[in-house]
Amino acid sequence: MKRLNTIFAAILLMMVVSGGGKQSLSDVITVDVMASYPKKELILQDFVDVEYIALETSDEFNCQQGIVLAVGKNVILVINYRGDGNIFVFDRNGKALRKINRMGNGREEYLGISEIALDEDNGEIFINDRYSRRIMVYDLYGAFNRSFWCEGSAIYTNLNNFDKENLICYDASHVEGMKESSFFIISKKDGSIVKDIQFSFNKKNIPGLGVQGGRVYISATAPIILPNNDSWILTEHSVDTVFRLLPDYSIVPFMIRTPSIQTSIDAQISLFLETITERYLFMTTTMYNYDPVSRVVGGRRTIAHLAYDKQENRIYEYTVYNNDFSTKTPFVMTYTFPFALYNTVINNEIAFWQRLDAYNLIEAHEKGQLNGKLKEIAAKLEKGSNPVIMLLKHK
């Protein structure tokens, strides 16, 4: 197992600089969460390729609440957040292929769907059933293959397809007074831990709390694990540094926040790295109030939506507009409720997705507010149609 202590990010940065390794201090992005940054307007189509997929609608394929949990080269997996157990399988053109539902109390069934990791190469889907603390493995037609339990008392979240043999996830379980947390690389075959990457801290920062199965877990409402070309970005909100996990399992600093998250537990500003594109890193600063007596997290409010420009090496408070809408409606590069509950991470092709409801698109089309491909799609929609899924792909 691999163990990494990160009590003081500065110490690690000094090691990186003095060690003559792959990365220098100038490569690490610094974000002052207390600072005010200049404003900048961005056009979506300038930094990503936009793809619209109209999901086929029928009585059997009704997923108007559509939450995309996985996108592959050939299929899209969509669920409704009402918890009916249905997994709708569409092809990349939006054609309905099949519906899978293995919800129940049996050995080969799931109690609920928290996340899905799609492994198209091996023809399998991995369902994170946080209620039972099991990973259920099925083929792409819903046939049961196997299952395995979370390690010890761990509660897995941010489950992702790491490589051909392994998954990557975060242990979101919370114990009062805890001083460390783990990212696990686990075997797809039996769930055994291949690597245990541990982060240590003085005090646990609690960006959100939830309870499932009588266990307390951390709900950060933003991805904790993000794919980044041939590496993965790892965020532990009790540590000031965001790290990059390389293919050889080595870890290097990627971004550091100031001031330290360890300075206060009463009213903390959390920094969430939400979306990574080729040019920009999109982040959100959020204030949470924590009552140590009642152990309740509340008073959540967004302070700023920030974008780090890799070309200019500068941070802006951004506003994004979509050129396929003639009206200048701000577009936020972050998942909102209920989508954030599922910690949706797609793959290295797609940076972000958003659901566009049919009734909104029909109204915008009638008002002449749509352009291009989106206008063509909206003209064919009916009020009961499934949503249109917008994929933002890396250029």
194-208: pLDDT as tens digits: 999 999 988 877 665
How much is the pLDDT for 88?
97
**Residue 54 domain boundaries:** 38-62+264-395
Separation CA 387–CA 67 (nearest Å): 10
C-alpha 61: how far from chain center: 25
Do residues 321 and 44 lie in contact, with contact meaning Cβ atoms separated by under 8 Å? yes
pLDDT band at 264 (very low <50, low <70, confident <90, very high): low
Do residues 369 and 326 lie in contact, with contact meaning Cβ atoms separated by under 8 Å? yes
**226 domain-assigned:** no
How much is the pLDDT for 131?
87
How much is the pLDDT for 66?
87
Amino acid, single-letter form, for residue 220: A
Report how many domains make up the chain: 1
Which of 139-143, 240-244, 257-261, 311-315 comes out lowest in average pLDDT? 257-261
**162 domain-assigned:** no
Separation CA 244–CA 235 (nearest Å): 9
Separation CA 183–CA 348 (nearest Å): 20
**50 domain-assigned:** yes
Do residues 244 and 1 lie in contact, with contact meaning Cβ atoms separated by under 8 Å? no
Q: Which single residue is written with the structure tokens 């997929």?
A: 53
Q: Name which residue leads in pLDDT, 278 or 6.
A: 278
**354 domain-assigned:** yes
Amino acid, single-letter form, for residue 310: K
Average pLDDT, the chain: 86
Over residues 283-299, mean pLDDT: 66
**348 domain-assigned:** yes
**355 domain-assigned:** yes
How much is the pLDDT for 289?
60
Per residue in 20-62, pLDDT (tens digit) is: 344 444 589 999 999 999 999 999 999 999 999 999 999 999 9
**143 domain-assigned:** no
Per residue in 297-333, pLDDT (tens digit) is: 555 678 899 999 999 999 999 999 999 999 988 988 9
Residue by residue, DSSP assigns 262-314 as GG-SSEEEEEEEEEE-SSEEEEEEEEEEEETTTTEEEEEEEEEEEEEETTTTE
How many other C-beta atoms can be found within 10 angstroms of the C-beta atom of residue 37?
16
DSSP 8-state code for residue 189: T
Separation CA 289–CA 296 (nearest Å): 8
How much is the pLDDT for 21?
41
**% of the chain residues with pLDDT over 90:** 66
**45 domain-assigned:** yes
